[in-house]
Each structure stands twice: as C-alpha cells, then as structure tokens.
Structure 1
Amino acid sequence: MNYNEKTCFIVTPIGGDNTDVRRSAEGAIDAVIIPLLTDIGFELDNINVAHRMPQSGSINKQLITRILEDDLVIVNLTKLNPNVMYELAVRHAVRKPVVQICEYGTDLPFDITDERTIFYANDMKGVIELKENLLPHIEAAFGEKEIDNPIYRAITSSTILKDVRVTDSEKYLVERLDLIEERIGKTINESRYNSINFNTGKINTYSYNFKATEDFSTLELERRLFDKNAIKSVKIRNITEDLYLMKIATYIDLSPNQLKRIIKNVAGVEIEWIEGALAKNKF
C-alpha cells in the first residue's frame, strides 16, 4: 500500500511535564511510532499528535475532526486515561482503521480486550518489540474491509432487538451471545493480566463487614468487582437488614486500604466499614 497521502492521528495520555506517564508516551511516539510511519511512506506533515497540535482555534474541534477524518488513528491506552477512552469511542463510531497500544499491566475493559492491541514493556527491549509489532497491525487495520468494534456491535445488537420482525427467540439468542462475548472478553483479559503480572499461584482472601447508606444490588456489585482483573472471585451476603458480609479473593496482595478503595470506587454508594472484621489468608 502507498502511504504517501495517508494521514495518521496519535492519541495518547499526557500527564504533567516530566512525569512517568508523559515521558513514556512521548518516548513511544518519538522513538517508535513516528519513525515507523515515516519509514513506510507517511509524510511527516500528515502525522498529528493530539497534545502537540497548534493552540489556535477550538482544540476540541480539531481533535474530533482528526479522529473522524484521518485515515489511521493510533491510540495509547496506557493508564486508561478518560480522554483517550472517549476519543477511542469516537473513532469506533465511524468504523475507520485504528490500532491500540498499551503498556503491559494495563487492565483493559472487557469490551475492547479482543480489539487490535499491542502490549509493550516500557524499556529498551519494549521499544524494539513495539516497533516490530506495529507495522503488521497497521497493515491489518488498513486491510480490513468491514471494520468491527464494540460501538458497531452494540448498535447492531440494539437494532436487531428493536426490530419488530425479530422473534423473541432470536432476541434471546442475541442477548445470550452478547453475554457470552462479555464473559469471553473478561476471561481473555484476565488470562493476559495474570500471565504478565501476577502468575505466582498465590491467592489472597479477605472478609469485610460493611453497611451501605442506601439500597444497592449485591449481584450488580459482585459483577462490577469481578470485572476488575486483580479480583478472582467475590461473594456478598446480607447478614441483617443493613449489614453485609463480603468475601473477596485476589490474585495479588493488596493492603486493606487499597482493596477498600477499589470497592468504594466500584460500589457507587457510600459504604461504612465495620472494623475488626478483616481476615486474610491463602486458599
């Protein structure tokens, strides 16, 4: 393929000046992405980086225009920056070529685990490996005739479910397939996460008593916590009207404060911990 007239937009987490996030993102851009793109024929003027765009006019408008119109978008998902995730969703909405990269250890959401993603290490060897893997992914992205992604799949499923001509049985099958896809994505990401980071064979369990200030679904909270790939299993039982017992198993050794912070962020309701009810061991 002739890339001379192709355009590419690079979306990446920024972070503060000289932070690890900023240095890592800039290193990937300057040491790997831009040199590779120019080597295969991209003109330097046709390569834009989100945070390096001129400050004149509406930055948001420029960003969205590039995301919508450029021939290729390369997205760095490291740290799952909210702005980056939003911009990835915009790109998915127009069904155009996109390549995802991220550092090892990034806990990808289940719905994008099976998308085209290159994992790399933030070291010199990682730079070499990223460069080796990036070109095949770019070629594959441009080679796809019908681009598939989570946004398109969700729209397709919704359209089918709303079609009055579709039978209840067919709608049930679509819903079950969506659920299966979600669980497979979770399993794939969990396997990748464990093999990269914590494949030590050690499982830690914790028990907490807590009260919630408002009604909530224990099943929904279990599902949300299970989506966190450091968590192997979670069970929540109602002890009294407003007192709950949670038993949770993790692949890694978390401090009580770390685990409580994860639970509170996921819960969506205020939680009051009943101290003295913590137990930790291996099983």
Structure 2
Amino acid sequence: MGESKKRCFVVMGFGTKTDYVSGRKLDLNKSYKYLIKPVVESKGIECVRADEILHSGSIDVQMYKELLMADLVIADLSTANSNAIYELGIRHALRPYTTIVVAEDKLAYPFDLNHILINSYNHLGDAIDIEEAERFKEGLGKQIDAVINKEESDSPVYTYLNSLIPPKIKEALDETVEKVKNPDIQPNETGKALSKIIQDAEDLIEQKDFDKAKLLFQTAIVLANMNNSQPDTYLTHRLAFTTYKAAKPDLISSLYESMRLLQSINLAHTNDPETVSLAGAIEKKLYENGEGENHLDEALLYFLRSYYTLNNRYNGINLALTYVYRANSGLATSKNEKITDLVMAKRTWSRILYLCDRDWPIVLAKEQNDAVNLNANTKESQELQDYYNTQKFWISVNRAEAYFGLGQFENYQKNKELAKNIPHPTWMWESFTEQIGKLAVGLTKAGHFMEPSWKAPV
C-alpha cells in the first residue's frame, strides 16, 4: 500500500469578520479559498477547515483530534479571532512542529507574539488582490515544503521546555468518537458540510433569494451550535439579515424577529459594528413603517455606535438621514432641537465627503496596480473588477448624497452621473435613488432650519 495522504487542518474564523482595532471587515472565506487551500492542495496534502467537517458527531472531539493528529496546522489569526488564538495555543501544546501561523498584515496583536514567525498577507476587505495572492501563495508554499517533513520545533512550548514529551492519542479515541455519534446517522448521510451550506446561503443572497438563504442559515446555526452554549455571532447576524430581507410572513413581523435574533448575541453590549449597524437599519425601517418614534431613537443610537466605531461612509450616510428624520419628528420638541439635528446631519455629510476623498485615490491606485491581472480574463480577475467597480460606485453615490444634503446640487449631479456610468447591479442604483427620495422629503419639510436654507433643486 502507498503512503497515506498527509492532512492539513486550517485554524481560522469563517465568513466576514470585523477587526475591531482597524475597523475593517475581512472576508475570511476568501483568504481560505484563494490563499491557503489551493497552496496546501498543490502539495498533495488534504486541506480541511472546521466548517468543512461533516457534523456526524461531536465537533469538539473532531477539532481537538485534528489539532493533535494533523500533519500540518495553519493558523490564521486575522481579526484577532479568539477561537483561532486558543486553538493555536492548543496545537503548540500538543505538537512541537509543523505549525504555520499567518495573519492579515494590519492585525494588531493582542499580546506578545514576537517569538512566533507570522507570515502576513494584504486583504482588500471583501476581495483578494491577485498579485498579492500570488506573492503570499509562493511564500506559503515554500514554508510548507520547509516544515512538512522536518522535526524542527516551531512551538514556543517545546522550544522553551525542550525536555517535554508530546502526548499521543489513545487508540480507543476512535471508539469514543463513534459512541457520541447519533447511531441513526452515518457519516455519508450527514449532508453538506457547514462551509458548503454557508456558501450556498451567501450565493442565494447575491441572487436576492433571501427566503431560501434564511433556511440555509437556520440549518448552519443548528450545526455550528451543536456543541456550543453561545450562538455564533456571524451566523446569527446573517440569519437576522435574511429574515429582515425575506419579509415573511410580513415585513413588520420579520423586522421584530430580526431584532430578537440580534438581541440573542448581546446587542446591548456588543462591540461588533456589523451587528449594531444592522440593528440601526432594522429600527429605522420599523420607524419608516409607522411603528413609533421610539424606533427612531434606537436607530439613531445604533448608527452612532457603529459610525464612531468604524468611521465609515455607510453608517455615516444612514446616520445623517436619521438626523433628518429626527428633525421632522416629535422627538425634536423645539426649534433649537430641529436646528441641532440638522447641524449634526451637515457635519456628518461633510465628514462623508472627507472619507470619500480619502478612499477614492486608494481604490484607483490599487486598481491601476492590478491592471495586468484585471485583463487576465479569468473568474478571479472578474471578481476583482467587480470589487473595484462596487467600491467606486458606492464612493460616488455617497459623495452625491452628501452633496445633496448640503444643497450643493451641481456636485450632486456630477457624482450621480459618474456612479451611473460605473458598471453595477440594478439593486444598488435603486437603493441609492430610494435613499435620495427619503432625504428629499425630509429636507423639504425641515430644510428651512438649515443655514443656508435648503431648497429642493428645480
């Protein structure tokens, strides 16, 4: 018989996560799919992440078994993921060698890791730069070659406690694993791995099929939480999003159900800006649909939290609109309060223009650097081009909306036309025009309190 295939276990989060230090969102699935997995498999090594393990038994048992027995472990610490850091510590305690540590290059490490070699890569946020991917993959491939067959310690535990003897797994463990399995479910009957369910759900979101995506995220949560007392934040957030968007059995009840889901992941105290901004969007929608001014007050607080955490354009745009809503509501009980709300909206629009001016040249420079890759006529190059088009579109419409709110209509039209000429899905333009419509209604009512007075364009 030939030598059995070596196995690599990848320790990292999955889905889109927020790095709280930098405020950036990273799509870790793309890091895995485009940076790590193809390199490992090119070396003839089987590659698996926790969400790809079929959940026929205890995932905790399987995870610990992988950390002990995998021929290679690659740990991605991007976004300072606490589970990844914990699992890396376990691996370093269990195995003296064949562990590789990687991270996105803007990660601020939460503790001293200077004695550990960490390979860095650059992440665009929700896309991967093709040239950067090739650079990182080449380096990772060389490191795999260097460590996979060498018994040289890369664990600080075994480096500093050099007389320590690594543990060995008991042969009876396989029987233990079988005992915790549901006797009515065999491995080949467990269906799709968690990673496949999540990817299918995300694909359905892209297709605007929120009802089916919701069902898949419900299934994913059941699988992910089989052995965890705490719900998975990312999956719960996505279930809340698809519940709200599916609007079943009706919009109002779906909005309240979405809020209940967010509250189950500590909405009142979380510092996850994605969860907080989604709560703001839901509360704003409840107010817009006549559910009461208390929802407007809550929406304002959520958008303030997420805006000041991320300092980004999306939350700023929604925050400014919410201030306009407040100026027209019963919450603004005096002329001075109305003026204050509109002053805060104007300050927010001015800040948005600053953020647009900051982000635009960065996107253009990256796109220019990727010119060769963008012309490669591959699936990856198309994904990257879609990413750049999306970034440019949103910057343009964010500029347009800010200028509209400030009453600078010539600049509004200029950026509106620029956005229109950038390739984009129909729903993005509809979202922009709907937002402008709401803003126009609010400013037509309260714009005379602004200095200078806001007047609708002729």
Task: Output the TM-score relative to the length of structure 1.
Answer: 0.48
Task: Output the TM-score relative to the length of structure 2.
Answer: 0.31
Q: More relative contact order in 1 or in 2 (CA 8 Å, sep 6+)? A: 1
Structure richer in strand, relative to its length: 1
Please say which structure displays the higher CA radius of gyration.
Answer: 2
